[in-house]
Amino acid sequence: MELWPILPDTFKTSVVKKLDYKSRCRLRKCSKTERSLVDSCPVFIKHVNFEPRVGNVIYFSIEELGVPCEILHDKACNTQEVLQDFLLLFKNAKSKVIQLSIAHYNFQRQPDAVNDFIASLLNEIGSQYPKSFKLKIQKLEFHWGEMKDTSLLSLLKIFDPKVFNALHLRNFPIRTLVLIEELLETEQWKNLKDIQIQEKLALPLDIFHPKDILSVTFHSLRADDAWKCIQNFQFKPRPFQSFFRIFTTTDLSLTEIFSHFNVPAKNEPIEKSYYLNDYFKHTQRFQLTWTQECILVVKIAKRQIKGTICRKTFLVDDFDEMDDL
């Protein structure tokens, strides 16, 4: 370390960029000079997880990109300390988090814990950062707990719309027309490419178009809405393995859906005959107007319709490839 102070700044920066997040934090505590050096280098984090616990305590963990299955930072402490550590990740304007997860397993005893945490996060950002400050987070995942409509909307607004592109939720709390209209006007919503919501929705399907990945559930699905989904994928260029998947709690009408097709209905399963089962009642292949390399494969079950952009030489591999993301 005796040589470290006299080394060129460019060399120091190259060294810091190779350090994992834990090592950077240790170096940052050495002096103001080292703090500035560390802060000048962006970090790229794979996963940040928050879990509210009893007594205003938040469990906070960090998994770094390129370090598989290793938690680099985890602790349970008060909200203020957690927020300071979390926002430190974004000290450099180029730093990015791939996935932010919020999970509240004890929500029946503390129903407002997630909303209180989001309010604290917003207050901390509002008091310490300029209005232009946005969190560079690519994906938000929230499956356990309760989140108010205004909390979700406010949280989405502090994400950088140029980075944020995926939203995975157990339920979708925004239901009033005023808030839906406000949501649809945000750049964050307009730029979303991946929406997956588990619980049944009571909203128009149109608000979820057009996305590259869409997985939602409705009580029922009209044949013309099913056809709109197909057309959205058939006529607009999308990456291969993009898909829509819609579950319903009432039976779909194959006859009514077929009546909207712009080609004759023809059942052409993509699997070998010995792999077939009776879950999907019909498989239709649609040619795409924007490429000759891929086709749109649409499978219809009793209460599900799914369409995937598949490469012609990898139909089976591509159809379900993105399901578990």
Tens-place pLDDT, residues 54-111:
778 899 998 876 655 566 667 788 999 999 889 989 988 999 999 999 988 777 677 7
Domain with CATH 3.30.420 in the chain: 43-192
Name the pairing type of β-strands 243-248 and 304-311.
Answer: antiparallel
CA end-to-end span of the chain: 44
- Higher model confidence: residue 85 or residue 39? 85
Q: Burial letters for 234-259: b for 16+ Cβ neighbours within 10 Å, e otherwise?
A: beeebebbbbbbbbbeeebebeebbe
Q: Under DSSP, is residue 319 helix (H, G, I), strand (E, B) or coil?
A: helix
Q: pLDDT tens digit string along 150-186?
A: 999 999 999 999 999 999 999 899 999 999 999 999 9
Contact 303, 252 (CB under 8 A): yes
- What is residue 320's three-state secondary structure? coil
The Cα 38–Cα 19 span in angstroms is 10
Fold topology of 43-192:
Nucleotidyltransferase; domain 5 (3.30.420)
Lowest mean pLDDT among 5-14, 74-83, 299-308: 5-14
- Given a cut of 80, whether residue 34 has pLDDT beyond it is no
Report the percent of the chain where pLDDT is more than 90. 63
Separation between Cα atoms, residue 289 and residue 17, nearest integer Å: 45
Q: Tell me the average pLDDT across 243-261.
A: 96
